[in-house]
Amino acid sequence: MVKVSKKIRASIIILIAVFAISLILLIPGVIIAQENNTNDTTETTVDIPKEIKFDVVYPKLSAKAGNNFEFKFDVTYNGDEEATFDIISQAPKNWYAAVKPSYQESEITAVKLQPGKKESLKLVAYPPVLKKLQQPGDYEIKVTLKNEDLKLSQEYTFTATITAVYELDLSPKYGVLNTKATAGKDNPFIVVLKNTGSDTIENITFKSDAPQKWIVKFSPEKIEKLNADESKDIEVKITPPDKTIAGDYMLNFSVSSENASDNIDVRVTVETPSIWGWVGVAIIVVVVVGVGVIFARLGRR
């Protein structure tokens, strides 16, 4: 049997002890490394939060009454896979709103979105047709994208601002821009004033441009206010002077306020009074009779 020296035995014991100590020290490091690897794996598998983003450059637009509003916007969907979203638009009473593709006119009620890909759309808002309902002010239109399965929804509010339009229209009651008048008498002529704008017009006055010594009176002489789409009959009394020569004369009637104005030209045909016609006939008869008498006397001589 081989005998091992004490030195060799001591060296073996020392090596075994060093190996055991090294192994003991290495095990915690391996465990920590495994935990770190596990944590790293967990972080890379975290789900991305699902959301919809609106990108709007011009959320507020203004236009005169009677015009439509067109808002352009982009939507982006952040998620795992393709999804279809319902489109819901909410407009004020008597308005109509529709969402369309950016460069098309077809109305859509749903859109299919790819994760991370931008989709360009537009909102078209139509104000009420009746002018009296197109009151100046701010009107909000809301657009919502919604997916019930994903329980995901996002909305955006656009603002359409209507600015007032002030317009007056003056026209003859029966559509004829001429009338007859008798010299020295009040001759009525009816015109119609209408507010064709979108808001109330106040402090409306009338004016005429007529030949010298003519008298033109408006009834009423002034209108305190006229609502949008409202009309009113105005009586105009035209009085040519007594000795006005028969013929055609041009008169101008105008209406004005701080915000709007209009005018019309009216041709007035002046006729001599019937009494003067009879006087003329009588003079002619007298002249004829006188001439006859003269010729009769001359004939006797």
User: Which CATH number covers residue 159?
Assistant: 2.60.40.2310
Same domain, 108 and 60: yes
DSSP 8-state assignment for residue 133: G
Is residue 111, in this structure, part of any structural domain at all? yes
pLDDT value of residue 42: 47
Is residue 248, in this structure, part of any structural domain at all? yes
Q: 141 versus 32: which is more confidently predicted?
A: 141
- Coil, strand or helix: which one is 251? strand
Tokens found for residue 150: 């994903």
Cα separations in angstroms, 143 against 54, 92, 225, 243 = 10, 12, 39, 73
Tokens found for residue 175: 């559509």
The answer to whether residues 60 and 159 touch, using CB atoms and an 8 Å cutoff, is yes
Same domain, 84 and 132: yes
pLDDT value of residue 66: 86
Is residue 295, in this structure, part of any structural domain at all? no
Same domain, 143 and 217: no
Neighbour order of strands in the sheet with 152-163:
60-64, 152-163, 137-147, 83-90, 110-113
pLDDT value of residue 1: 46
Grade residue 3 by pLDDT with cuts at 50, 70 and 90. Answer: low
Cα separations in angstroms, 183 against 110, 190, 203, 237, 245 = 75, 19, 33, 12, 8
Residue that is last in its domain, among 116, 146, 163 = 163
**What's the predicted TM-score (pTM) here?**
0.62
Average pLDDT over residues 269-290: 67
Q: Which residue reads 């593709």 in tokens?
A: 101
Q: Identify whether 220 is preceded by a cis peptide bond (ω within 30 of 0).
A: yes
Same domain, 157 and 215: no
Percent of the chain with pLDDT over 70: 77
Is residue 288, in this structure, part of any structural domain at all? no
Same domain, 57 and 156: yes
Grade residue 134 by pLDDT with cuts at 50, 70 and 90. Answer: confident
Q: Which residue reads 């969402």 in tokens?
A: 99
Same domain, 225 and 173: yes
Q: pLDDT tens, 239-258?
A: 999 989 999 999 999 999 99
For the beta carbon of residue 179, count every other beta carbon within 10 angstroms.
18
Average pLDDT over residues 190-199: 94
Here the CATH number for the domain that contains residue 204 is 2.60.40.10
Same domain, 187 and 223: yes
Same domain, 56 and 155: yes
Is residue 116, in this structure, part of any structural domain at all? yes
pLDDT value of residue 114: 94
Is residue 17, in this structure, part of any structural domain at all? no
Residue 180 domain boundaries: 168-275
Q: pLDDT tens, 24-70?
A: 666 655 555 555 555 554 445 456 678 999 999 999 999 998 899 99
Same domain, 55 and 159: yes
Same domain, 56 and 129: yes
pLDDT value of residue 248: 95
Same domain, 188 and 95: no
Same domain, 58 and 159: yes
Q: How many domains does the chain have?
A: 2
